[in-house]
Structures are given as structure tokens and as C-alpha cells.
Chains A and B, each alone.
Chain A
Amino acid sequence: MKWITPYYLVFMLGAWLVTDGWQVIALKHIDPAAQVTFLSLEFSQITFIWLVRAFLVAAILFINFAVWWAWRNRSSQGVDHARA
């Protein structure tokens, strides 16, 4: 648990990044000419997937804003925790 699990984990993650991960992240498997329709709007598929990724980043920022908000309120109530 102390040695095998972390190295196994890092090795598998590294192997995935080299074999598949980079292809997926860089959208190498998507045909650049492919077009899609979303709510009657036309996009190239690559643009659309990047827009979806932007949506996910926005969702991450929103969740982190909620985290910041929660700790800010705890600060004002004098709860013991790390600095907001």
C-alpha cells in the first residue's frame, strides 16, 4: 500500500497519457471537417467540444466560488479553519 499502489498509479497514468490521453485531450480522434448542430446552431465539431470544455471550466469556477463563499461566511462567523 505504501509503495506498490502509488507507483502503480503513477505508471498507469503516465502510460495512459502517452498512449491515449494526449490524443483525447488534443482531439486528434475528431475529424476536423465534421460539423455539428446544437440548438439549431452550426459548429465545427472541434469548436463545439472546446465550447463544452469551456462550459465545464465555468462550472469548476462556479463550484470554487461556492467554496470561497462558504469559507468567507465561516470566517465572518469566527469558525476555526484556514484563511479564506
Chain B
Amino acid sequence: MKQRENWGSRLGVILAVAGSAVGLGNFLRFPVKAATYGGGAFMIPYLIAIVFLAIPLAWMEWTLGRYAAIHGHGTGPGLLDKMFKKPWAKFAGSFGLFAPTFISFYYVFIQSWLLAFAWYSLNGQLLNAVQSNTITSFFGDFIMLNTKIGPIPAAIFFFVITFLANFSVLAFGVRRGIERLNKYAMPLLLLMGVGLLIRVLTIPGIEAGLAYMWNPDFSALTNPRVWIEASGQVFFTLSIGIAVILCYASYVKKDEDLVLSSLSAVGTNTFAEVILSGTIVVPLAMILYGANIAEVAQMGTFGLGFQTMPMVFGKLPLANLLQFVWFSMLFLAGMTSTISIQQPLITFCEDELKFKRLKSIAAVAIFTGFGAFVAIFGLAGGALS
């Protein structure tokens, strides 16, 4: 059996799995869900779902990943084939390939928006759009490919850079690519988050937003939707159930403590989501909209991240810098997640199709590039619906 790669250290694997989990769901989706479904009240079913769904399922995926690795596999088809020893099993296991790959079709495009907006923060275009009250059309024109750099839509330009950057990291492999990226990106991301948190906590009038997020209105708990959305958020944020953790865990050394590593990764993600995102985004948005939390929720995931947040930062000193930190933090979160959802198909190519690393990268890049093409040009038509 061919020797498979391993993570270089426990810290490396924890940061990589945490990096997979900490993504746009933490900083864009969670605040909208929390704002829509009761603020502090949302936290209660959310934390219950973390304990009863996320942690057990994460342990299960880690364990399955180790079991698969013992038999020379790192993805669903090989794992299920080994477990059930039936012809259909390997095809059932393909869910663990196409689920994360399909997410990557659109996720990379959104990740590239963050790179673009980090750039627009630096060169002042974003601040101009905020000050001239044209941020909505600025964002809309960008994602609908109407903003051009020469003859090329700016969104395509930034997408290509992002796409190449992701696959460049993946080309270096698990240890020298993914692990090394996460060892730098995750501490930097958390540092940026803590920096923004400190800035937000020193803004006069932030108390109302903090009160909304941290004082639960228990009557909201009688709404079943709050429970469904909180459970859904847990799946989305921790990348559980789509075999990404399974794939990463298949590269863990045999003597590694899976329980501790898994809990550390879940803990890091929950810190980023509840403490950083929960304290930064909704309270900050409430400064702009006052107590009208329904308006915050109506902005939606992208409205909140790409319009409301730049608008609020635009009112503060060092606006460009704050906007840049915000979008850079999101870009790093997006990148560490994107590479994790592209890795299972690469692992499949290496383990099962016996492709060399670079051939696997090329095959997956072509396949996901084709899917991303549909997502990019079909965005206006509702391709993401």
C-alpha cells in the first residue's frame, strides 16, 4: 500500500480543521441568522446543537477518517466500500465527493469578492462608494460582472487570482501546502478578529447591540424555526456531514488524540462564531440601523457583509484600514475553507485513481472551474437557488 501523507503536528491538524470550519458562515451567515431568530435566544438552541449534533458528528467523522486511512483511503467511496463490502457502497460514498465539490463551485467565487473588496478598501474605491451612498450599486455592478478592468469584468479577474491561489496551495500537498497555510492564516485571522472586536467594544452606543446578542428573549424559543435554523447553522459552520473532516482526519498520525483534536477545532470555530462574529457584526450593524433589527436581517448575508459593514466602518476613523482588515479576515477564512472542500476530490484522485499530485490538481481544477463558470454566469439567473 502506498504511504499516505500525514499532518506534521497536532497544532497543524487542529488549525487545518478549524480553518476548514471557520469560514464565511461564521462571519456572514451566523449574524444574519442570529439577528433574524432572536439574537441571544438563538444562542441557546445553537449551543445545544453544538453539544448534541456537532461534537458527536465531528468525532464520528474523525474516527471514520482514521479507519479509512488504515485501509489506504481518505474519502467516502473507499471508506464505505471497506465498511460494507457491497458493490453499491462505493457509489453511496461518492456523496462525500460531490457535496463539498458542489459547494466549492460557488464558494470560490464569493471568496474572490472578498479579495476584490479588500483591494477596493486599500485603494479607497469602497470608501468613496460608501460616502457617495452608492455602495449597493457598487456591490451589485461588481457581482453582476458590470465593473470592468480594461475589457475584463473585475469579478472574473479577481476570481482567476483566487482560483489560482487556492490551487497553488493545494499543489504543495497536505503538510507543505494546507498545513502551512493554516499555521499562518488562522492566527492572523484570529488576530484580525480580536483587533476588530476591541475596536467595536470601544464604540459609543454599542451596548444596545451587545444587549440584543447576549440577553436572550426566552419566548423566541417556542418558535420551532429558531431550533431548525440553529441546527442548520451548526452543520454549515462546522463543515460536518460532507466528509471534509473525514478527508482531513485520514491524514492524522496513528497516535494522535482524535477526541482532543476534534474538540479543539470545534472550540476554535465556536469562539470565532459566537465571540468574534456575534460581538462584532450584529452590534455594529445595529449602530447603523438603530434598534431596527429586522432591517439588519433583511440585508441578508451578502448585504450585511459587503454593504452594511463597510458603511459602519466608513463612519469610523481609519475607515480604509478597518474595511481592509474586515475583508482580509473574511478572505483568509474563505480560503482556508475553500481548500478544505476541494481537497476530498484531490484525495480521491490520488488514492483511488492513482493520479500524481499535480495531475490530481489539474483534474480537479478543470472540474471545479467548469462548475464555477456555471455559478458565475448563472448567478443573476438564480443558479445558487
Contacts and interface: CB of A to CB of B under 8 A. Distances in A.
Interface of A: 1, 4-5, 8-9, 12, 15-16, 19-20, 24, 27, 29-30, 36-39, 43, 45, 48-49, 52, 55-56, 59-60, 62-64, 66-71, 73-74, 81-84
Given A36-B380, A38-B381, A64 B94 contact: yes
B313 to A, nearest CB: 33
Interface stretch (B83-91, B164-172, B285-293): B83-91
A49 B383 contact: yes
B207 interface: no
Nearest 8 pairs of A and B residues by beta carbon: A36-B381, A70-B352, A1-B56, A12-B231, A5-B56, A48-B381, A82-B85, A67-B77
Contacts of B228: 12, 15-16, 19-20
Interface in B161-203: none
Given A4-B52, A5-B56, A52 B81 contact: no
Contacts of A66: 348, 353
Contacts of B377: 38-39
B97 interface: yes
Nearest to B87: A83
27 contacts: A5-B57, A8-B49, A8-B231, A12-B232, A16-B228, A19-B225, A27-B385, A36-B380, A38-B381, A45-B381, A48-B378, A48-B381, A49-B381, A49-B383, A52-B374, A52-B383, A56-B98, A56-B102, A63-B345, A67-B97, A69-B353, A70-B348, A70-B352, A73-B354, A81-B82, A82-B86, A83-B87
Contacts of A81: 81-82
**Best-surrounded residue of B52, B89, B93 (most CB of chain A within 10 A):** B52
Interface string B207-238: 00000000000000000110110011000000
Interface in B118-169: none
Contacts of B102: 56, 59
Nearest to A36: B381
B206 interface: no
B98 A60 contact: yes
Contacts of A82: 81, 84-87, 89-90
A70 B353 contact: yes
Contacts of B369: none
A interface SS class:
helix
A38 B352 contact: no
Contacts of A55: 374
Contacts of B77: 67, 70-71
A47 to B, nearest CB: 10
Given A30-B382, A49-B382, A52-B383, A12 B227 contact: yes
Given A19-B228, A63-B97, A66-B353, A43 B90 contact: no
B47 interface: no
B91 A64 contact: yes
Given A60-B98, A81-B81, 9 more contacts: A1-B56, A12-B231, A16-B232, A49-B382, A49-B383, A67-B352, A73-B353, A82-B85, A83-B87
B358 interface: no
A83 B84 CA distance: 11
A16 B385 CA distance: 16
A64 B348 CA distance: 12
B300 interface: no
Interface in B316-370: 345, 348, 352-354, 367
A66 B77 CA distance: 11
Nearest to A56: B102
Contacts of B224: 15, 19
B8 interface: no
A84 B87 contact: yes
A74 to B, nearest CB: 8
B381 A37 contact: yes
